[in-house]
Amino acid sequence: MHVETVVLLSHKKPDGHINVKVEFGEGEGKVPLDNIAKRAEAYKPKERVTYKMIKEYIEAKYGFKVHTAYIAEVKRNLGLPMYDAPNAVEELKHPRKHPTAEKVEAIKDALKHFEVI
């Protein structure tokens, strides 16, 4: 048998409490454990796709490297959600170069492969 517990860690006081009694197992009024595992699997979040994963996929499939700025530009152009980079700067030291059409297509292919688009 496998049991998982989810705990919310917070310093806030709860608004109220709800006591729930659940019996697991077979029989009337009991919740079968295998059904819980199936439902939990359906709600499991997808693995977060990293730029490193995209770069490795493109290098393995197409034989060339792409810069993370190119991946970000393609994602931005597609209107995909972007996360704040901890190393972002206000002003670039050098003007940003744009990816070639070949690299844009490779990045889009990688995003499709990882089911981002």
pLDDT tens digits, 67-113: 999 999 999 999 998 887 777 777 778 888 899 999 999 999 999 99
Of 113, 48, 110, 45, whose CA–CA distance to 81 is shortest?
48
pLDDT tens digits, 1-43: 667 777 777 777 778 888 888 787 777 877 777 777 788 888 8
Q: Are 73 and 99 in contact (CB under 8 A)?
A: yes
Whole-number Å distance between alpha carbons of 18 and 109:
48
Opening angle at CA 115, ends 83 and 108, nearest 5? 75
Q: Is 69 exposed, middle or buried (0-12, 13-18, 19+ CB in 10 A)?
A: middle
CB atoms within 10 A of CB 105: 13
